[in-house]
Amino acid sequence: MASTATNNTQQQEEEEEEEEWDIKTPEEVLYYWFKDNRGRDNAEDKWFKNGKLYDDEIEEIFGDTVEAVVEGYLSRWLRTKMGTLAFIILTDQFPRHIYRGHEASFAFGPIALTAAKRIVQHYGIETFTSAEANFILLPFEHSEDIRDHDKGIQIMKSFLRRRPSDKILLSTLESQLKSRAVIEKFGRKPTRNEILGRLSTEEEKEYLLGLKGIPVDLTYFHYLGGKVDKSSIDLSMFFYLGGKMSSNGYGSKYNKDDDDIMISKL
C-alpha cells in the first residue's frame, strides 16, 4: 500500500511539473510531421529538401516537448505503437532542427535508436507506411556504429521483399548504403567533425571538399562504373572507391548534347 501511494504521489508531481511546460501529445507530433502542410505545397517539404526553413517553427511548437525527453517525462509514449513512432520523430528529427549546427543536435541519437529498435521488435516494420518506416530506420543510419547500419539495411531489405517497387523504400535503402560506405571508410561521419570539435584527417578533408562541390577528378570513379546525376553530385561513393582530389583542381563540364556529365581526361 505504501509503495502504491508513493508511486501515485510521484506520478502526480510529474504531471504537475509537466503542466508548467507546453508539452505536445504523440498525436500532435505525428500530425505535424506527416500531414500538416500549414498552407505549404505538402507536409514533406520539412523533411529533407527545405528542412532549414522550419527550424524556428519546430522549436517554437515542440521545444518544450523535446526538453521533456531530457527530464524523462515522456517514457510513457513508448507504451504504444504510434507513441513510440512519435518519440522517434521527436528525438531523431526535431533536435536536428532545434539545435542545428550545435553538438546537441546529435545528443538524442542513442535515445532515438533505442526506440527504433524497440518499435521494430515489438510491432514489426511491415505494420507501418513506407514514409513512417523511413523515419523509423533513420536512427540506424544516423549512428556511427557500422553494426547499426548493417541492422538497418537488413531490416529494409526484408521489408522490400514485401514492397519491391516502393520508391520511398528503395530511396531509403540507397541512402542507407551510401551512409554505410562512409562509416566503413572513415569509422565515423566526417560531416559532424567540425560541430563535435573533432579534427578531420586529410582523407576526410578531401571527402568534405567533394561534398561542397570542389572540383575533383572523376576519371577513376567512371572507370569503376560510377554514374553522376547532373542535378545532384554525391561524391561519397567516389571517395569510398578510392577516388582522390586532383592536384590541378580538376573540374567537370556538362555536355548539352548528352544527359551525362562529361569529365575531361587527364
| 65-110 residue pLDDT tens | 999 998 889 999 999 999 999 999 999 999 999 999 999 999 999 9
Distance CA 212, CA 209 (A): 5
pLDDT above 90 for 42: no
Distance CA 54, CA 15 (A): 29
Distance CA 52, CA 126 (A): 30
Kindly list the structural domains of the chain, giving each domain's residue range(s) and its CATH number in brackets, ordered by start. Answer: 23-191 (1.25.40.10), 200-266 (no CATH)
pLDDT band with cut points at 50, 70 and 90 for residue 264 = very low
Strongest mean pLDDT among 187-196, 237-246, 257-266? 187-196
pTM of the model: 0.73
If one compares 116 and 52, the residue with the highest pLDDT of the two is 116
Q: Taking the alpha carbons of 150, 141, 128, 91 in that order, is the dihedral positive or negative?
A: positive
Among left, alpha and beta (phi > 0; psi -120 to 50; other), residue 21 is beta
Quick: pLDDT tens for 192-245.
999 999 999 999 998 998 887 655 455 555 555 555 444 444 555 544 445 544
Mean pLDDT computed over 150-170: 93
Mean pLDDT computed over 127-152: 96
CB 98 within 8 A of CB 63: yes
Confidence (pLDDT) at 77: 97
Confidence (pLDDT) at 25: 96
Confidence (pLDDT) at 59: 94
| Percent of the chain's residues with pLDDT above 70 | 67
pLDDT above 50 for 149: yes
pLDDT above 70 for 57: yes
Map residue 235 onto helix, strand or coil: coil
Confidence (pLDDT) at 9: 55
pLDDT above 80 for 30: yes
Confidence (pLDDT) at 223: 53
Confidence (pLDDT) at 7: 55
Confidence (pLDDT) at 195: 95
